[in-house]
Structure 1
Amino acid sequence: MSIRIKILFALFLLFAAEEPARSQDAVKWVFTDYPPANFRTEKGDFSGFFYDIVMEVFQQRLGIRVDISVYPWKRCQRMVECGEADIMVTIPTPERKQYSVTHSRPIWIKRRILYTYREHPRIHEINLINGLASIKKGGYRVVSYLGNGWTEKDVQGIDIPVTFATTVDNMYRMLAAKRGDLIIEEKVLAAPHIVDLGLSKKIVETNGVGSESGFHILIGKKSAYASLIQALDREIEDMRKQGRLEEIFRSYLFSQSN
């Protein structure tokens, strides 16, 4: 066999060995179950409005396969920070911006309203609350879940007392057991949990409002896909202009124009 043929054969083997790895390249997305934003169904399928958005923007528009893994929320954040995972969907806090990049405008605006337990002695006052400052002034105790960075920074950070549950479901159980005064949560996220846990007679939605904040797709700076942030931003804005974001939200029985 001539040297030229040997070289060509070696190159063929090299490219053949690389091809399976290329075909397996994928964006690794990590999240904790948070219906109806992103969750795993009883059949084991993935669903949620974040799921629909992420799959469309990466797989359909950018042509990159998405691999999903479900972990506790604190672990998800650590994985993106250290480069074990590529993306997560959450609020781009100053801390998270240190290890991730994101697009210009949120894909979803979360309007957090107040929930309390039925027959709370101050329920009429809670109905009038507008903002975290009023919660602090009223001396209310908030119930949240471990890994909720927004609660840790914005709520606990201004000295509002917080009791943390180990999971999202346990957060609702704790409020129903009167182990706190309030849960601050988006209605579309809270309502299904309350119903599924059989707590509709123990937890009530109020007219009080906690705050609003925007959710983004965050790509870890250590990810090989961090350089796609401009393309990601372009595709998300295109989905917004085409009405796809609103269409996805409406498919989950709510509307949000942002």
Structure 2
Amino acid sequence: MTIERRSFILGATAILAALPRAAAARHPLSIAYPDKSPPNSWRADRGIMRGILVDLMAEVAAKAGYDFDPRPLPLPRVQSEVESGATDGMCLVATPARLKYALPSAEPLTTGHVTMFVRRDSPMHARLEQVRSLDDLAATGATVIAIQGNGWIKHNIESRGIRTVFANGTIGTVRMLIGNRGDVIVDMSHQITWITKHVEGGAEIEELPAIMDRVDWHLLISKKSPVAADMPKLDAAIHDLKANGKFATILGKYGIKA
């Protein structure tokens, strides 16, 4: 074997040996999202994921050195995938149940108010206008419409014995309310407001002024994921994103003020 050929083979071998290490440095960060919950997350045309939390995490992943892999799923599957470790993480409220199997980011990705939405012609409208707390809501006898798997609803609504009916996705909750298949939605103000502007019959829905809760949406990484070791890096990326103008630009894209 000539010296030139030996040098070529050794050089090629060195390059190939370096490739797995380069690939490992860009391990994809898989994040599961509810597929019917705009403007936070939804499956758009050709299966592409869109939404506030999708855009925010794309920036966070890039800052932390990860390729980004968003996965659209029904909410119950979002949680089960993260609990099993099949998917690295999700972006949801850090409820006690979720914290049993996932690590939360040090600061939230977004924060918002929980309010009530009713039909303008609802026979429950006058009573619901007087509600100022979740205990007041329980006393009305109203039926709450919620998305299946909503941890906040389980912890705050179902725990009070309030009758609850479930829809497939957040869009489904609004459609059920339009169809008089329940009395009230208790959910994130910006999310339900956005949906009522984009579905037929949404003008029949009114937001009541009482703020029922203020909640944070965190990045939650499965305790079974190797990404859990990188939480400090992800925390730093979230902090940096929220400290610069890109955060406000992403929220503004969906009509929300940072």
Q: Within 2, Cα distance between the matches of 1:131 and 1:247?
A: 33
Structure 1 residue 13 displacement after superposition? 9.8
Task: Tell me the number of residue pairs that the alignment of Structure 1 and Structure 2 aligns.
Answer: 250
What does the per-residue CA deviation read over 1:68-87, in whole Å, with 9 as the maximum and x for residues that have no partner? 21111111111111110001
Q: Is the 8 A contact 1:28 1:85 kept in 2?
A: yes
User: Structure 1 regions of 5+ residues with no counterpart?
Assistant: none
1:225 aligned counterpart, secondary structure? helix
Q: Determine whether 1:64 maps to 2:78.
A: no
Query: 1:244 maps to which residue?
Result: 246
Q: Within 2, Cα distance between the matches of 1:21 and 1:63?
A: 11
Query: 1:194 maps to which residue?
Result: 196
Q: Within 2, Cα distance between the matches of 1:241 and 1:69?
A: 27
User: Structure 2 regions of 5+ residues with no counterpart?
Assistant: none
Q: Is the 8 A contact 1:39 1:46 kept in 2?
A: yes
Query: 2:81 maps to which residue?
Result: 79
Structure 1 residue 188 displacement after superposition? 2.0
Structure 1 residue 105 displacement after superposition? 2.0
Query: 1:218 maps to which residue?
Result: 220
Q: Determine whether 1:35 maps to 2:51.
A: no
2:202 aligned counterpart, secondary structure? coil
Matches within 5 A, 1:1-258: 15=17, 18=20, 22=24, 25-33=27-35, 34-42=37-45, 44-59=47-62, 61-256=63-258
Deviates more, 1:169-178 or 1:223-232: 169-178
Over the matched positions of the two proteins, sequence identity in percent amounts to: 26
CA distance 1:245–1:16, change in 2 (3 Å) = closer
CA distance 1:23–1:101, change in 2 (3 Å) = closer
CA RMSD of aligned residues (A): 2.5
CA distance 1:226–1:131, change in 2 (3 Å) = same
Q: Within 2, Cα distance between the matches of 1:111 and 1:139?
A: 23
Deviates more, 1:37-46 or 1:88-97: 37-46
Q: Within 2, Cα distance between the matches of 1:210 and 1:243?
A: 30
Q: Is the 8 A contact 2:44 2:50 kept in 1?
A: yes
Q: Within 2, Cα distance between the matches of 1:35 and 1:163?
A: 20
Q: Within 1, Cα distance between the matches of 2:20 and 2:247?
A: 37
Q: Within 2, Cα distance between the matches of 1:71 and 1:240?
A: 26
Deviates more, 1:204-213 or 1:39-48: 39-48
CA distance 1:63–1:13, change in 2 (3 Å) = closer
1:89 aligned counterpart, secondary structure? strand
Q: Is the 8 A contact 1:26 1:65 kept in 2?
A: yes
Q: Within 2, Cα distance between the matches of 1:139 and 1:245?
A: 40
TM-score by length of 1: 0.86
Q: Is the 8 A contact 1:126 1:207 kept in 2?
A: no
Q: Within 2, Cα distance between the matches of 1:242 and 1:168?
A: 30
Q: Within 2, Cα distance between the matches of 1:147 and 1:85?
A: 17
Structure 1 residue 100 displacement after superposition? 0.9
Q: Is the 8 A contact 1:129 1:209 kept in 2?
A: no
TM-score by length of 2: 0.86
Q: Is the 8 A contact 2:197 2:203 kept in 1?
A: no
Q: Is the 8 A contact 1:107 1:245 kept in 2?
A: no
Q: Within 1, Cα distance between the matches of 2:200 and 2:180?
A: 16
